Each structure stands twice: as C-alpha cells, then as structure tokens.
C-alpha cells in the first residue's frame, strides 16, 4: 500500500508527542550532561580484541541490550533494521534475507554472521539460515555490525560486512527470569532462564518455545507459513588469576510451514503448494580459553562443533562443522601491537534429493562431501603519534578446497585529534569463496519459463555448477568520522567506494528439446566469473540525548550499484542485480522514560522500493509502551507496522511464494526473581 502524506504525518506526530516540555532546571542539567555511549562503547569484531568504538578504523555499529529491550523486536533479524547500510527483508514468517551494502537474496553470500565468534554462515548454499539463530534476546549483550570488508580478521565471505552476536557473561545473568509473549502473530513465546554460581565461576541454563502465526500471500490468501521452535542451552564462565574459560552450547528443533512456488512445464507454468513443512534440527558446543599476562599479552584458544539438519519437501541436508582457532596479541617495542593467529575448519555436508511434481529440483553429486579450510593472519597496530595517529596493517592467508589460496590484506589509518573526534580511512581486499551449490556437483531446477530466451516452446531453466569458478573479489575504499558534537549529540558517518571483480554470473547454455511430459526446452545456466561492478554510498548514524529521560537515534544510508558483464557473456544478471536493493533507507527511534516507571518508545523505518521484487517503498511505524509496576516485573504492549494493513518486502523468488508483512500487536511480561 502506498503511504499517504497523512500516514507520514501521523507517524511523525507519534514521536513528537513524546517531547516533554523543558523546564529551566532541566536545560541547566542538559548543558552539563556527559553523553556516554558512542565513543566509549566496546567492540571486538573489528580487530578480534576489545577496543573502544572511538579507536576503530571501521564502519561499526553496536545494538545494545537497551536497544534490544526497548525496540519491541522479537528476533535478531528484525533488530538489524536499525543499522545503517543493512537491508532486512522478511521472506515469510520464518525466513529473512539480510545483507549489507547490496547483493540481497535468500542467501546473501557476502555477509559473515557469527555468534560469540562461531560462524553460522553455511557453505552449502552460501548464506545464513536466520531461523536457526533464534536466541533468547534477554541473554544477548550486544550485536556488533561492521559494514565493509572484514576478511583480514575473519576470512573469506566477510566481504560487505560482519555481524557478531555477543551473548552475556554468565555472571550477568544470575537469578531467575521468565518471559511470556502473546499476540495476533506472536501467538505464544515462552522462555525461562536460571543463573547460579559455582566455586570459581557462574553458569546459566535456559529454554525457549516459539509459536508464530503466518503471513498472507501477495494478492490474498493465507501463506500457511506458521513457525514452531523449541530451543535450550547453557553457558558457564570461570575465572582464575590470569585465565578465564567459557563453555556454552545450544540445541533446537523446529517445524516450519510455507507456501512454496514451483515452476512447471505446462500452463500456467507456475504452481503454489501450501502447507509444505520443513523440519529443522541442530546444536552446537563452544569452548574458549583466554589468558591475559602481566606484560600485556593476550592468548585465546577457541574450538567449537556445530550440527545443522534441514528436511525440505524438495531436498534435505545435514552439515557438521568442527573449528579450532588460536590468537595471540602482544606488544612489541613501544609503538607496535602485534596480533596473529591460525585456524582450521572441517565441514561435512550430506544431501538427499526428493522428487516433487515429477522433478528432482535439487540434486547434489556426490551426495556427501568433506571440505577443509586452513587459515592464518597477522596484524600490526602501529602508533605513529601517541594517542593521536595509528596505522594498522594486516592480512589473512587461507587455503580452501574450491579456489585454493586466497590473500586478504588491509590498511587502516586512524586520527584522533582529541577525545571527542576521530577520523579514519581504510583500503581492504576481501574474497567470497563459492560453495557447493555453485560448483560442479549441483543441479538446481525451477526457473520459470520464458525468462531466459525467446521461444515458441516453454523454456525450463536450471542451474549447473562449474568446477572452474574462482573467488569473487572486492577492493574497498572507506573514509569515516565519529564525533561528539557537544555533550549530548553524537555523529557517525562513512563514505565508501567498492570495486568488485570476478563476480559470479549465470551463463545461458545450449537448449535441449524435451518431448515428455509435454514439449519444452531445457536450458542450462552455468556459473562463471563473467561480471564486475562498482558501488558507492554513505551511511550516517546520529544520536541526541535530549534530556536524561529522552533519547533520539536516527540513521540514513544511500547506496548505488553498477554491474557490467564481460565481453561475450550471455548473463542477464547485471541488470537484475542493480535493482535488488533499496537505494535509500532511513530510521528514527525515540526512547522516552515517563513518570511512574513507564516507557514510551517509537520507531520509524523508511525503505526505498526494490524493483526486482516489485516491492514498493514503505514506512514502518512501531510503538512500545512499557511499565514496571513493581520490582522484578516488566509489562509491555507493542504494535508493529501500524501505518498499513500489510506491505511487500521480498519475492517472488525460486521456490518462495511472495508474501506481505502484516500489522501485528503483542503483549509481553518479563519477571525477574
């Protein structure tokens, strides 16, 4: 639905209504208020060690626990809407497509996502299954988002950004907590947590159950995409003199419904199958040892094992991962801080094919495979001028089973003229390594007819992997600044230019006539590195502490991409990829603390149109009213997407029916005891 000026005005007034009248004594207090947050926020995702946000030469943004609590969001994907430069689209009730700086799709393959340093990027389809990351939000300490390359530290696939979800230390979750959420779409979510102490440390255990209702197919009709998930886990932390140790793990089981779209070789060439169920299971365990010595050295050894299994109506897969990483940070002389590390990862993947509508839509050959990834990195932070100018040089060195050796260097310069201002610039190289779904051992059918070449017969296209594909490359240039403009206003701005090469494109092969069950042309689409391009844009985040009780936060992002195909290429992707993202995004959030332990929080999100998915621009308005009637009890009422009945964000796409995101309301009770 197109937004009217009245809708925009009403949502703006909802925020302006929160403005309290400022008395003289409040203004006096305001002038002396010291804003904490932006410059002093701690981040670890830029250099794999703790540092202040003001000391990072990267486009980093932090979603705090207070942001999580007061946003009214119920999942990690939805929380990412507040980050400038990140594009979040809801595919259906239990799936999202999320990317940074363009290239969005069901499997956005240029964004690396981690939970406490454990990668949840799947190499099978090159992306993230966001439904598997449904953590208990009360246990999340912060979400660090680094836009731009992170390959020097994190390795391949950290091309356009890194998202690191960091959970709380067990000592910060002592006691008992229970939450209950219910509404028209969030039908029933219950969670409970218990935290306690041991002789040398702390621990917590938790359990969560989710029952979420479905959305509506674009044009009308129930999408039949309900979501049911159970999850449980633990974390324990010990400290002893210079050493600390963490052991944590999770397990989950889910049933997810969806309406799937299939291409057929007979009219109307496309069919929708409601009620298709996906069974999802998984678990992980992670251990981390850390030592801080008196001479400033820090050593970290981390190992984890991860299991994920998905049983679709058209195929199934199981992925098992074992990963070991070591890192050592040590000061050298007076002006150098050296960080180096090494790691090894093995990934076992197993698939099976299911025949749907008489077609094997997804088929891997061989069905099972093991892949290895070996890596090492080194980075030196050089102090050129004490407390003022620092240069960071480093590189990642990796070997994988698909493209062989890859090198990802970077150089970052940080100038901090005073405690309130910093300016930084960087030049970085990052690579995206293709996965199994893009190599020779896969065939994925299901493209709708007559979209590849003109023909009097229906055209049925299918993907075919290519063993000769190379890694996709990015050379990125970034400049940014952070500033406390006065005691209560902060600004964070970044400008970037990205130069992409060796991008994968699908090349149209020779058609093969097929006579049965009815005549059609079968056209292969082969992968090859026949595309290149460039993008540029800006991302701005600002915050204003109007009074001690009222905070405002705003963000804006502008992105422009251009893609080109190499001579002789038959791909149609350059034109398609240029219209798969919103050119502009804007958000405005207000947190107001009212008398009598009440809170009024409002949010506006504007997303430009996405032409590829025929998704019009939309404005989303959310409202949260919170109240703490007594110690330990918090109640909240939340309304989301208040400006219209529903709007489209994604699709149609391969096997995914286009849905519309509807208006929702829910109530939540949180009890700490």
One DSSP character per residue, 584-652 reads EEEEEEEEEEETTTEEEEEEEEEE--BGGGTB--EEEEEEEEEEEEETTEEEEEEEESTTSSEEE-S--
Q: What is the pLDDT of residue 453?
A: 62
pLDDT at 7 over 50: no
Residue 512 has pLDDT above 80, yes or no: yes
Q: For residues 561 and 533, is the Cβ–Cβ distance under 8 A?
A: yes
- Looking at per-residue confidence, does 152 or 323 come out higher? 323
pLDDT at 486: 80
- Residue in 408, 412, 407 with CA at minimum distance from that of residue 380: 412
- Tell me the average pLDDT across 620-638: 97
Asked, for residue 32, whether it belongs to a domain, the answer is no
In a domain, 180, yes or no: no
Q: DSSP secondary-structure letter at 643?
A: T
Order of all β-strands in the sheet with 646-648: 216-217, 659-662, 646-648
Neighbours of 608 (CB within 10 A): 19
User: CB count, 10 Å around CB of 506?
Assistant: 25
pLDDT of residue 5: 38
Least confident of 39-43, 176-180, 214-218: 39-43
Segment of 16-20, 584-588, 653-657 carrying the highest mean pLDDT:
584-588
Looking at residue 651, its pLDDT comes to 76
pLDDT at 252: 98
529, 504 in Cβ contact below 8 A? yes
pTM: 0.91
Kindly state whether residue 182 falls inside one of the protein's structural domains.
no
CA distance 568 to 564: 12
Q: Return the closest-CA partner of residue 471 out of 408, 379, 411.
A: 408
Looking at the predicted structure, is the pLDDT value of residue 655 above 90?
no
pLDDT of residue 503: 94
Strand partners, 604: 588, 621
* Residue 121 in this model has a pLDDT that exceeds 70: yes
Helix, strand or coil, per DSSP, at residue 45: coil
Domain membership of residue 499 as a residue range: 41-168+250-596
Residue 444: the pLDDT is 65
Q: Report the distance separating Cα 59 and Cα 493, nearest Å.
A: 8
Amino acid 552: pLDDT: 97
Q: Would 665 be classed as within a structural domain?
A: no
Give the confidence band of 478 by pLDDT, cuts at 50, 70, 90. Answer: very high
The string of pLDDT tens digits covering residues 610-628 is: 988 888 999 999 999 999 9
If 0-12 CB within 10 Å is exposed, 13-18 middle and 19+ buried, where does residue 370 land? exposed
**What is the model's pLDDT at position 39?**
62
Q: How confident is the model at residue 352 (pLDDT cuts 50, 70, 90)?
A: confident
Residues with Cβ within 8 Å of residue 220, at least 6 apart in sequence = none
Alpha-helical regions (H) of 491-649: 573-577
Nearest to 101 by CA among 393, 406, 494: 494
pLDDT over 60 at 598, yes or no: yes
326: pLDDT strictly greater than 90: yes
Report the largest interatomic distance among the alpha carbons of the chain, rounded to a whole angstrom. 84
Is pLDDT above 50 for 30?
A: no
Question: For residue 531, what is the enclosing H or E element?
Answer: strand 520-547
Expressed in percent and rounded to 5, the helix, strand and coil fractions of the chain are: 10, 60, 30
220 pLDDT more than 60 = yes
pLDDT value, residue 461: 74
Q: Given this model, what pLDDT does residue 17 score?
A: 39
* CA-angle at 19, arms to 15 and 24, nearest 5°: 165
In the predicted structure, residue 357 carries a pLDDT above the cut 80: no
Contact 668, 177 (CB under 8 A): no
Greater confidence (391 vs 525) lies with: 391
- Nearest alpha carbon to residue 133 among 153, 163, 106, 103: 163
Residue with more model confidence, 190 or 124: 190
- pLDDT at residue 35 is higher than 60: no
pLDDT higher than threshold 60 for residue 9? no
Is the model's pLDDT at 24 over the cut of 80?
no
Q: Minimal CA–CA distance to 60: which of 4, 143, 172?
A: 143
More confident residue, 49 or 66: 66
pLDDT at residue 22 tops 90: no
CATH of residue 121's domain is: 2.40.170.20
Choose among 146, 53, 141, 24: nearest CA to 484.
Answer: 53
For the chain, give the mean pLDDT. Answer: 88
The count of other CB atoms within 10 Å of the CB of residue 594 is: 15
Beta bridge partners of 355: 360
58 within 8 A of 47, measured Cβ to Cβ: no
**Residue 297 belongs to a domain:** yes
Q: What are phi and psi of 588, to 5 degrees?
A: -140, 125
Structure confidence at residue 15 as a pLDDT band (50, 70, 90):
very low
**Within-domain flag for 55:** yes
Task: Compute the C-alpha angle 113/116/120, nearest 5°.
Answer: 35
Question: Does residue 229 carry a pLDDT above 80?
Answer: yes
Average pLDDT over residues 565-581: 82
Find how far residue 576's CA is from the centre of its chain.
22
Number of neighbouring beta carbons within 10 Å of residue 36: 9
Question: Structurally, how many domains does the chain consist of?
Answer: 1
Name the percent of the chain lying above pLDDT 70: 90
Q: CA neighbours within 13 Å on the CB side: how many for 602? A: 17
Q: Which residue has the higher pLDDT, 519 or 447?
A: 519
In contact, 557 and 578? CB cutoff 8 Å: no
Q: Is residue 121 part of a domain?
A: yes
DSSP-based three-state secondary structure for 621: strand
Locate 42 and state its tokens.
């701690």
Task: Kindly tell me if the per-residue pLDDT of 136 is higher than 90.
Answer: yes
Which pLDDT value is given to residue 25? 35
Helix (H, G, I), strand (E, B) or coil at 320: strand
Instruction: For residues 275 and 223, give the distance between their C-alpha atoms in angstroms, rounded to a whole number.
Output: 8
Q: Would you say residue 470 lies in a domain?
A: yes
Q: Which has the closest alpha carbon to 375: 344, 408, 329?
A: 344
Are 539 and 505 in contact, with CB atoms under 8 Å apart?
Answer: no
Q: Cβ-count burial of 643 within 10 angstroms (0-12 exposed, 13-18 middle, 19+ buried)?
A: buried
Can you say whether residue 632 is alpha, beta or left, with left for phi > 0 and alpha for psi between -120 and 50 degrees? left
Instruction: Place 451 in a pLDDT band, splitting at 50, 70 and 90.
Output: low
CA 153, CA 4: separation in Å to the nearest integer? 46
Of the pLDDT bands very low, low, confident and very high (cuts 50, 70, 90), residue 475 is very high
80 pLDDT more than 80: yes
Q: pLDDT tens for residues 269-319?
A: 777 777 788 899 999 999 999 999 988 899 999 999 999 999 987 788 999
């Amino acid at each position: 639905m197109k937004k009217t000026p009245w809708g925009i005005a009403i949502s703006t007034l909802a925020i302006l209504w929160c403005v309290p009248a400022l008395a003289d004594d409040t203004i006096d207090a305001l002038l002396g208020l010291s804003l904490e947050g932006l410059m002093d926020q701690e981040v670890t995702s830029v250099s794999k060690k703790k540092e202040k946000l003001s000391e990072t030469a990267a486009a980093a943004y932090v979603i705090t626990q207070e942001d999580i609590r007061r946003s009214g969001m119920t999942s990690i994907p939805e929380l990412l809407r507040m980050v400038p430069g990140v594009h979040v689209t809801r595919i259906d009730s239990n799936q999202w497509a999320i990317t940074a700086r363009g290239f969005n799709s069901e499997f956005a393959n240029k964004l690396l996502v981690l939970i406490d340093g454990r990668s949840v990027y799947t190499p099978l389809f090159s992306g993230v299954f966001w439904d598997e990351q449904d953590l208990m939000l009360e246990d999340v300490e912060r979400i660090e988002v680094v836009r731009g390359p992170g390959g020097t530290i994190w390795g391949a696939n950290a091309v356009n950004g890194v998202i690191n979800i960091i959970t709380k230390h067990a000592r910060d979750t002592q006691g008992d907590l229970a939450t209950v959420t219910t509404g028209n779409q969030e039908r029933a979510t219950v969670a409970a947590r218990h935290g306690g102490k041991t002789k040398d440390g702390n621990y917590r255990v938790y359990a969560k159950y989710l029952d979420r209702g479905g959305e509506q197919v674009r044009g009308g009709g129930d999408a039949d995409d309900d979501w049911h998930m159970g999850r449980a886990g633990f974390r324990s932390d010990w400290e002893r003199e210079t050493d600390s140790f963490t052991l944590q793990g999770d397990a989950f089981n889910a049933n997810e419904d969806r309406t799937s779209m299939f291409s057929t070789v007979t009219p109307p060439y496309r069919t929708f199958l409601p009620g298709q169920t996906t069974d999802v299971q998984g678990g992980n365990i992670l251990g981390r040892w850390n030592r801080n010595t008196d001479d400033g050295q820090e050593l970290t050894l981390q190992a984890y094992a991860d299991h994920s299994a998905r049983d679709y109506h058209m195929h199934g897969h199981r992925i098992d991962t074992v990963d070991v990483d070591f890192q050592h940070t040590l000061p050298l002389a007076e002006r150098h801080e050296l960080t180096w590390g090494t790691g090894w990862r093995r990934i076992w993947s197993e698939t099976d094919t299911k025949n749907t509508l008489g077609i094997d839509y997804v088929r891997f050959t061989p069905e099972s495979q093991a892949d290895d990834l070996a890596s090492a990195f080194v980075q030196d932070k050089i102090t050129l001028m004490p407390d003022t100018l620092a240069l960071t040089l480093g590189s990642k060195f990796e070997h994988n089973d698909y493209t062989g050796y890859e090198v990802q260097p970077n150089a970052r310069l940080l100038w901090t003229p005073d405690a309130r201002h910093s300016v930084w610039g960087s030049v970085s190289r990052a690579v995206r390594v293709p996965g199994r779904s893009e190599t020779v051992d896969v065939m994925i059918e299901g493209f709708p007819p007559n979209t590849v070449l003109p023909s009097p017969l229906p055209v049925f296209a299918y993907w075919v992997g290519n063993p000769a594909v190379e890694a996709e490359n990015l050379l990125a240039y970034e400049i940014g600044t952070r500033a406390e403009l006065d005691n209560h206003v902060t600004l964070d701005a970044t400008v970037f230019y990205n130069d992409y090469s060796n991008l994968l494109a699908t090349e149209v092969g020779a058609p093969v006539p097929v006579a049965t069950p009815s005549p059609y042309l079968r056209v292969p689409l082969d992968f090859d590195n026949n595309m290149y391009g460039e993008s540029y844009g800006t991302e701005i985040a600002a915050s204003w502490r109007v009074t001690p009780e009222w905070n405002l936060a705003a963000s804006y992002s502008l992105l422009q991409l251009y893609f080109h195909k190499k001579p002789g290429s038959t791909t149609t992707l350059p034109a398609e990829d240029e219209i798969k993202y919103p050119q502009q995004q804007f958000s405005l959030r207000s947190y107001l603390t009212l008398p009598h332990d009440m809170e009024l929080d409002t949010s506006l999100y504007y997303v430009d149109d996405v032409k590829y998915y025929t998704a019009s621009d939309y404005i989303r308005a959310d409202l949260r009213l919170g109240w703490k009637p007594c110690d330990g009890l918090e109640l909240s009422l939340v309304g989301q997407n208040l400006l219209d009945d529903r709007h489209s964000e994604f699709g149609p796409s391969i096997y995914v029916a286009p849905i519309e995101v509807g208006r929702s309301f829910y109530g939540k009770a949180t009890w700490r005891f």
